[in-house]
Structure 1
Amino acid sequence: MSTDASFIAHVAEQAGFGPLLTHRKMFGEYALYLHGKVVGFACDNQLFLKPTPAGAAVLGQPVEGFPYPGAKPHWLIDATLDDPPLLHRLLACTADALPAPKPKAAKTAKQSKATQPR
């Protein structure tokens, strides 16, 4: 089962970040970005958040789950979806605790030629 666009819209509305919270569709599921950082995943119409000590301080006793087969454990965010201020705080502190994304390396001429079809 893949995640519905309406679920993503609901998460975005509840979180209250407006255009700062973005998403990207991946294999029928979604990665959620806040300030350019992947903070979690929406899989099977469930929200999974990257675990951080700051997030644990907000959640207390997080419930672990796996967003997809082979994934590292994430926190399953269920009841928090019905508490917009808590969800907002949780996503904000998670984004703050995560490192900035690494800049993508510029393609060199050699790399560009290697990826062109022959």
Structure 2
Amino acid sequence: MATSVDFIEYVCEQISGVGAVRYRKMFGEYMVYINDKPILLVCDNMVYVKELDCIEEQMQEAEKGFPYDGAKEHYILDIDNSYFSKQIIELLEPVIPIPKPKKKKIK
């Protein structure tokens, strides 16, 4: 089951105020960017964050799962808890880099 547009918009509502929030459809699912950094992965109406040391303590009780086949295990973020979700994003945003632009292939 793919993520619905209503759900991705709900996710963005829940985290509003943490920076410039935008989302992009990728492979039928969504990546949520905060200040142009890929922070949240939304697959099958579930929100995932990378297992990084900076959030290990806060996410120790969180469920874990695989967002798609072949992916590494991620934490599942309780997006219904807006305050907690914003705290996690505030910890992740400084350590996640802005992706480098892809070089265009010369034909």
Tell me if TM exceeds 0.5: yes
Q: Distance in 2 between matches of 1:7 and 1:83?
A: 14
Indicate the residue corresponding to 1:96 in structure 2: 94
Segments of 5+ residues of structure 2 without an aligned counterpart are none
Q: Distance in 1 between matches of 2:90 and 2:100?
A: 19
Indicate the residue corresponding to 1:45 in structure 2: 45
Q: Distance in 2 between matches of 1:94 and 1:11?
A: 16
Q: Which has the higher helix share?
A: 1
Q: Spell out the pairing of 1:1-118 with structure 2 (5 A cutoff).
A: 1-17=1-17, 20-77=20-77, 80-105=78-103, 107=104, 111-112=105-106, 114=107
Shift of 1:75: 0.8
Q: Distance in 2 between matches of 1:72 and 1:14?
A: 25
SS at match of 1:88: helix
Assess, with a 3 A threshold, how the Cα gap between structure 1 residues 12 and 52 changes in structure 2: closer, same or farther: same
Runs of 4 or more off by more than 4 Å in structure 1?
A: none
Shift of 1:96: 1.5
Q: For 1:43-63, what per-residue CA distance to the aligned partner results, in whole angstroms no more than 9, with x for missing partners?
A: 111111112112223223332
Q: For 1:32-88, what per-residue CA distance to the aligned partner results, in whole angstroms no more than 9, with x for missing partners?
A: 1111111121111111111211222322333211110001111112xx322211111
Segments of 5+ residues of structure 1 without an aligned counterpart are none
Q: Percent identity?
A: 33
